A and B are shown apart, each in its own frame.
Chain A
Amino acid sequence: IAGITQAPTSQILAAGRRMTLRCTQDMRHNAMYWYRQDLGLGLRLIHYSNTAGTTGKGEVPDGYSVSRANTDDFPLTLASAVPSQTSVYFCASSAGGGDIQYFGAGTRLSVL
């Protein structure tokens, strides 16, 4: 059972470049989430999706976009990366809103 798979594991990116972080789950969960984790700030919600075809903004959505074309995939795109987007990004999924969220292993992104 894979659960939630994130790719890449880590990435170094030049400022201004476009980057897509991938997230795939095989648990048939309806809801998916993207968080960023910075030292001393805990986890902050970027975007979420309650079901395929719908997305919503979290606490820190600026500079990021998402899509949910199907149940399993929830990619996060940085259209033009900036150094302040250097962070560890976690994808999570749950059966529905208010259910336990299970996290992927994370993507460590450095924007130089």
Chain B
Amino acid sequence: GENVEQHPSTLSVQEGDSAVIKCTYSDSASNYFPWYKQELGKRPQLIIDIRSNVGEKKDQRIAVTLNKTAKHFSLHITETQPEDSAVYFCAGDGGTSYGKLTFGQGTILTVHP
């Protein structure tokens, strides 16, 4: 089955800096890679996703890049703000059509004002 590794486990940045979180996956058949943000005590919420036929996707301050050859994808947050502080999870679908996501272990992002 799919295995997703996420790094770093914690990330601390100053407001205005950029933050990058990287995930690697094991199953070359994986097609769908979502990123979720989870604030303390809240539900995970999708912030951006990418499919295997696209190399990069942007949404305002957030971007995701995918390298299928190396089997890794990364989340980039520019001009970070304190409200970006949360736990971020990446996931991969292992190429299944059933939406069976395998999640990374999560990255605790802290943005200091």
- Tell me if A48 and B103 are in contact (CB < 8 A): no
B: interface residue count bin: 20 to 34
- Tell me if B101 and A41 are in contact (CB < 8 A): no
A43 lies within 8 A of chain B by Cβ? yes
Chain B, interface SS category? loop
- Tell me if B102 and A97 are in contact (CB < 8 A): no
Q: From residue B46, how far is it (CB to closest CB) to chain A in Å?
A: 5
- Tell me if A100 and B102 are in contact (CB < 8 A): no
- Tell me if B99 and A31 are in contact (CB < 8 A): yes
**B99: which of A42, A48, A59, A106 is its contact (CB, 8 Å)?**
A48
Interface size of A in residues (CB-CB distance below 8 Å)? 26
A101 lies within 8 A of chain B by Cβ? yes
Report the Cα distance A48→B93, complex, angstroms. 13
Given the known inter-chain contacts A40-B105, A41-B105, A59-B1, please indicate yes or no for A31 contacting B44, CB distance below 8 A: no
B112 lies within 8 A of chain A by Cβ? no
Q: From residue B30, how far is it (CB to closest CB) to chain A in Å?
A: 11
Which residues on A are within 8 Å of B, measured CB to CB? Answer: 31, 33, 40-45, 48, 50, 56, 58-59, 90, 94, 96-106
